[in-house]
Amino acid sequence: QVQLVQSGAEVKKPGASVKVSCKASGYTFTSYVIHWVRQAPGQRLEWMGWINAGDGNTKYSQNFQGRVSITRDTSASTVYMELSSLRSEDTAVYYCARQVLFGGNYFFDFWGQGTLVTVSS
């Protein structure tokens, strides 16, 4: 069965970086695109970017102004999301999600369990 398993909770100081992992299993890793979505406490979901696990191409939301980087390790079937220059507003649960493309539409059919990142001095 398809699973996306994320790394554990992190506590970081302002200005630091965090790297969250998302390990995929149960499907052909390189055949899908993985997205990252975050959710601050009590807020709506916010899309951050995606990576094509096959060729490594990426696209990021301009809202993160170059602070986000998504990479993958095909030998480990794992995608990584690194967010730098952390500030308190980055405190959120970070999710990875698998993309399906069907009939020209993109949607997320499987999600990781979420990783809480807390930014606090």
Q: Output 29 or 60, the one with its CB closest to other proteins.
A: 60
Candidates 7-15, 25-33, 41-49, 76-84; binding stretch for other proteins (CB under 8 A)? 41-49
Q: Can residue 113 be called a binding residue for other proteins (CB under 8 A)? A: yes
As beta bridge partners, residue 119 has 12
Whole-number Å distance between alpha carbons of 34 and 97: 6
Q: Does 58 bind other proteins (CB under 8 A)?
A: no
**Least distance (Å) between residue 66 CB and other proteins:** 14
Question: Within a 10 A sphere around the Cβ of 69, how many other Cβ atoms?
Answer: 17
Shortest approach of other proteins to residue 5 CB, angstroms?
12
* Dist CA 55 CA 74 (whole Å): 10
What is the spatial distance between Cα 10 and Cα 111, in angstroms, rounded to a whole number?
19
Asked if residues 55 and 29 have their Cβ atoms less than 8 Å apart, the reply is no
Single out the residue of 8, 41, 66, 103 in contact with other proteins (rule: CB under 8 A): 103
> What are phi and psi for residue 27, nearest 5 degrees?
-155, 175
Of 19-27, 43-51, 65-73, 77-85: span binding other proteins (CB under 8 A): 43-51
- Please give the DSSP secondary-structure letter assigned to residue 4: E
Question: Is 59 near other proteins (CB under 8 A)?
Answer: yes
Q: Which parts of this chain interact with other proteins (CB under 8 A)?
A: 35, 44-47, 59, 61-63, 95, 97, 100, 102-109, 111-114
